[in-house]
Amino acid sequence: MSARSMILDEIRAVAAEHDRTLARLTDELPLLDSGLDSLCFAVLVARLEDSTGLDPFAAAGTARYPKTIGDLIAFYDEVLV
Amino acid sequence: MEGGVGLGRAVSTREHVLPLDDFAQASSLGAHLAALEGRSVVLFVRDMAKAAAALIDLDGWARRIMLCPPGWTPAQLAAVVGEAEANGLVYDGDDAPPIAMPLAAPCGLPLRPLKTARAASRETEWILPTSGTSGPPKLVVHTLRTLTGAIPPATSQQWATFYDIRRYGGLQIFLRALAGRGSLTLAGIDESIDAFLIRLGRAGVTHISGTPSHWRKVLMSAEARRIDPACVRLSGEIADDAVLAALRTLYPRARIEHAYASTEAGVAFAVDDGKAGFPAAWLENEGAVRMRIVDGALQLRSDRAALRFLGAGAAALADEEGFVDTGDMVERRGDRLFFLGRRGGIINVGGAKVHPEEVEAALNAHAAVRASRVFARKNAITGALVVADVVLRDAHASEAGLEREILASCRARLPAHMTPARLRFVADLPMTGAGKLARHG
């Protein structure tokens, strides 16, 4: 499974569990407008770490954070290669 | 402290039977007993029946008894000998002395006859080390008077406990049994819960005490119906509605009570209405135990509290008004107060505070869950997330879909930040030597 479909699937699952209404998930969509709150992001990052063994957020520190859905996918793509 | 005379009472472990009728003329310390008079004695034995015998021998006779918890290493013992001003050691007669002391007395069973009857007269200090999460243990000073303040007059109850009697919870049961007219059955060294339950059934035990973690193990044991207790007592951890209801179903004729006590503050109360928490009206009680809530934490004042911590420079045990801060956080819901967890155990999820015990209560309320342990998982976004290990009621249940289902039921009961991000299904949860859920490591 590609990072893209894995991440999008997990976003939808987390949003459903937390009763969040998602915006249409395009690469340009700012994460802050996606409908996920910071707790949802935290859960998303933890779930992705469980499936990939990697947490690029912990590795990056706070130096650079992805701003859009596209950034987020690229963020994982970088560490998953 | 006296054994009963002519009642045929005993303290039994798997390995030993300690007859309580014989203490007037006999001792577990034999000829060494005389030399221990007035000393500050550390008690370091493996077997609980020997510990029981030595406690009966030494109360009123030694100046001070320090009860080393089971499993202590000689190094742990050596580290507190100075603070305890110890000048006597009672060790297990089946072992070598753990450390060198000016006076070392082997403790053995059966009891050996004494040439002259003893006349115990002093008020002995009982020292209970409490295990902190870090650093050396605090040495809590009690006397028989403070330890027995909550114990009712003599009854014919046949007691047993899953606790070790060298810790406060087990010591309460030991002293209850001694004050009564019945016997006490204790676990053997490394005895399994199944084997212990079989022995308890044979002994006709009527009153049994342990932590909720102990009782969850009983609920999972194939031998749980070997006992038919009149009283099931829970203490040492928060008793949630799930464990109380499960015990009610398993032992329909038992009174099920959960007691609240701490080594420092003593026994506060027991609740027997079958529900978690306790009535808020009890805060207004002007009886033997006064309670108040300061910054969310329960504080207690009673003559059952310990006298002080031992050692130069030790912190004060109580404030100027005599209240002991228990460090246990409580919350009022309607006319009841509920324990949330330890002040120090809070998980911070993006600034929101979570008590692991509250989340565990929600998990345990699910019909498929027998026990759970909630802990923090580091997270780059919120600092920490709540995650949990879960033991299922049915070890053979299919785990597929169950994580989602249990989390959904949690979400219905708890705010989102308190709902675990992940569950992990495990066969067993680690327990501390004190019978509580191990929260570290």
Query: Is the distance from CB of B28 to CB of B50 less than 8 angstroms?
Result: yes
Give the Cα separation of B265 and B317 in Å (integer).
9
Query: Is the distance from CB of B418 to CB of B354 less than 8 angstroms?
Result: yes
Contact A42 B408 (CB under 8 A): no
Give the Cα separation of B266 and B166 in Å (integer).
15
Residues B42, B55, single domain; the answer is yes
Q: Find how far residue B369's CA is from the centre of its chain.
A: 24
Structural domain span for residue B296: 192-342
Residues B41, B62, single domain; the answer is yes
Mean pLDDT of B417-436: 91
In a domain? residue B18: yes
Q: Tell me how far apart the 2 most distant CA atoms of chain A are, in Å.
A: 33
Mean pLDDT of B78-99: 94
Residues B282, B392, single domain; the answer is no
Residues B65, B138, single domain; the answer is yes
Residues B89, B142, single domain; the answer is yes
Question: Å from A63 to nearest chain B CA?
Answer: 12
Q: Is A59 helix (H, G, I), strand (E, B) or coil?
A: helix
* Residue numbers in A near B411 (CB within 8 A): 17-18
Residue in B with minimal Cα distance to A60: B380
Residue A43: pLDDT band with limits 50, 70, 90: very high
Mean pLDDT of A43-51: 92
Residues of chain B by 3-state class (helix, strand, coil), percent to 5: 25, 30, 45
| CATH number for region A3-80 | 1.10.1200.10
Given a cut of 80, whether residue B137 has pLDDT beyond it is yes
Residues B331, B362, single domain; the answer is no
Indicate the number of domains in chain B. 3
Other beta carbons within 10 Å of B188: 17
Other beta carbons within 10 Å of A67: 11
Token pair, residue B162, equals 């899953």
Residue B210: pLDDT band with limits 50, 70, 90: very high
Residues B337, B400, single domain; the answer is no
The domain that contains B393 carries what CATH number?
A: 3.30.300.30
* Residue numbers in B near A39 (CB within 8 A): 349-350, 382, 416-417
Residues B211, B335, single domain; the answer is yes
In a domain? residue B5: no
* Closest by CA position to B86, among listed B64, B67, B68: B64
- Which of B288, B315, B342 marks a domain boundary? B342
Q: pLDDT: is B383 or B316 the higher one?
A: B316
- Which of B288, B308, B342 marks a domain boundary? B342
Give the residue from A43, A72, A75 with the most B CB atoms within 10 Å of its CB, the best one to mutate: A43
In a domain? residue B168: no
Element (H or E) spanning B326, and its range? strand B324-333
In a domain? residue B377: yes
Q: How long, in residues, is chain A?
A: 81
Residues B296, B362, single domain; the answer is no
- Mean of per-residue pLDDT scores for chain A: 87
- Which of B81, B115, B147 marks a domain boundary? B147
pLDDT tens across B275-289, in order? 999 999 999 998 899
Residues B286, B377, single domain; the answer is no
Given a cut of 90, whether residue A38 has pLDDT beyond it is no
In a domain? residue B116: yes
Mean pLDDT of B219-229: 94
* Residue numbers in B near A17 (CB within 8 A): 404, 407-408, 411
- Mean of per-residue pLDDT scores for chain B: 92
Say what percent of chain B tops pLDDT 70. 97
Phi-psi region of B126 (alpha: psi -120 to 50; beta: other; left: phi over 0): beta
Q: Cis peptide before B110, with omega less than 30 degrees from 0?
A: yes
- Amino acid occupying residue B135: G
Question: Å from B421 to nearest chain A CA?
Answer: 6
The domain that contains B294 carries what CATH number?
A: 3.40.50.12780
The domain that contains B69 carries what CATH number?
A: 3.40.50.980
In a domain? residue B89: yes
Token pair, residue B357, equals 């015990």
pTM of the model: 0.86
Residue B441: pLDDT band with limits 50, 70, 90: very low
